[in-house]
Every structure is written in C-alpha cells, then in structure tokens.
C-alpha cells in the first residue's frame, strides 16, 4: 500500500511543481488552446500505464484541464506516494503537449453546516444530497460519490445562535501561494476579517451581512 504524505511533504518532492495540495487531495490546472487540445491531453492521461488502478479526477473544458489526485479509503483521505508518481507523469504529458500550469485556477469548496448535535442532521443532508460518508471520517464528512459536488463537513456548535437556528458557512481551499491574493480581493470587495489566529491554516472573513467564509490552505496541517 502506498505511504501517505503530508501536504508540505508532497510539495518537497521533485517533479510536482505544477501541483497544489488543497482540502481534498493534490490538484493542478493546465491551460489549453482549445477543447480538442484538452481532449487530447485527457486521452493521454487515460493511456498512462497503471492509471486504472489509481485514476485521477479529470475536469476537461475548452480552455483547460483540471486534474485532482486523492487516495480515499477507510484510513486515508489525502495524498500518497502513488499520487506523487501520477502527478509527475501527468506533468510530463502537459510539458510534451505544451500546456501551461496555472496554480491560480486551483481551489476546492467545502460547505460547513453547524449544529449542536451533528449526528441528528447528517442523515438529512445525506438524503438531500445523495452523498456518502467519507470512508476515513464517516461521522463528520459527506462526499459526492461522483466526485463532482463540494464536500460537506459538519461542525459541532457549543451553543445555538440567538435565534435558535443552526448556521452554515463555506470554506474555500486555495493553494498556499494564492491565499494572500484571494484575501486582498475579498477585503477589497467589502469583506472584513472575523478571525485570523489560525492562519495560515485558515482565515475567516464575512460579508456585509455577516455571512462567513474561510480561506483555507494546507499550511501547518498534518
């Protein structure tokens, strides 16, 4: 079985400079000149030796291809040495086909419902979304079995809001070297800092109505 590697350990490997570890694996975006070029790139990934044993998630568009590598089983939801190997080989294809990596296009989204009793609300969201428990953390996380929608992480609240209702906010995972630009853009657009004591793991900002969103990175995480 491949060994799990932490986010920063992943980035220390040679040959993965195009990739960024975010909340749910390692991702890379490669700009392409056309839909046909994107299709040729995706096809070449599909021809890699052994790719069916550890297939990536591939999002193919007319102007680029986004690839996500994640190992997901009962013990691991993250990156492993197998992902390092596949990342290197995909980057080699991109270089051969002259596709340009663009880390600023990499991100992932997590929706975070809060409740005093998360176990009481998870079944509702599972039924509504058609999601499944994440194998390594089934008591807190739901994921799209098709790998398309954002993950849901259920946060236990210590006390109810004043109106007695629950709460929900989102977390946007970005590459660690893109966080500062994203924070500045959000603040320039009217956002205000709620808490930053957990930076660089995450910063929490709010809009003018008080709705919260986290800018999260893999820095300082195991």
pLDDT, tens digit, for every residue of 2-53? 788 988 899 999 999 999 999 889 999 999 999 999 999 999 999 999 999 9
Cα 113 from chain centroid (whole Å): 17
pLDDT at residue 143 tops 70: yes
Q: Where in the chain is the domain with CATH 3.30.1360.20?
A: 4-105
Rounded mean pLDDT of 113-134? 91
* Burial status of residue 208 (CB atoms within 10 A of its CB: 0-12, 13-18, 19 or more): exposed
pLDDT, tens digit, for every residue of 172-219? 999 999 999 999 999 999 999 999 999 999 999 988 878 889 999 998
Q: What percent of the chain has pLDDT over 90?
A: 73
Q: Where in the chain is the domain with CATH 3.10.180.10?
A: 108-216
Question: If phi over 0 gives left and psi between -120 and 50 gives alpha, with beta otherwise, what is residue 171?
Answer: beta
Domain at 108-216: CATH code:
3.10.180.10
Kindly report the average pLDDT of the chain as a whole number: 92
Reported pTM:
0.88
175 near 20, Cβ under 8 Å? yes
Does the domain at residues 4-105 carry the CATH identifier 3.30.1360.20?
yes
| CA neighbor of 102 nearest in space, from 113, 92, 91, 110 | 91
């Amino acid at each position: 079985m491949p060994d799990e590697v932490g986010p920063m350990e992943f980035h220390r490997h040679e040959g993965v400079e195009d990739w960024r570890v975010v909340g749910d694996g390692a991702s890379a975006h490669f700009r392409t000149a056309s839909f046909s070029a994107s299709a040729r790139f995706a096809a070449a990934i599909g021809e890699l030796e052994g790719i069916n044993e550890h297939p990536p998630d591939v999002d193919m568009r007319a102007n680029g291809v986004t690839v996500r590598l994640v190992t997901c089983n009962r013990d691991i939801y993250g990156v492993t040495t197998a992902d390092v190997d596949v990342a290197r080989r995909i980057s080699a294809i991109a270089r051969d086909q002259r596709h340009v990596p663009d880390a600023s296009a990499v991100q992932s989204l997590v929706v975070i419902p809060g409740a005093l009793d998360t176990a009481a609300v998870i079944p509702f969201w599972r039924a509504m979304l058609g999601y499944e428990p994440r194998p390594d953390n089934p008591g807190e996380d739901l994921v799209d079995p098709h790998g398309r929608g954002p993950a849901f992480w259920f946060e236990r609240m210590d006390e109810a809001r004043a109106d007695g209702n629950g709460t929900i906010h989102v977390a946007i995972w970005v590459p660690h070297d893109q966080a500062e630009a994203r924070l500045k853009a959000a603040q320039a657009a009217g956002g205000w800092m709620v808490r930053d004591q957990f930076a660089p793991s995450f910063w929490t900002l709010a809009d003018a109505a008080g709705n919260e969103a986290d800018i999260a990175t893999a820095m300082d995480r195991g």
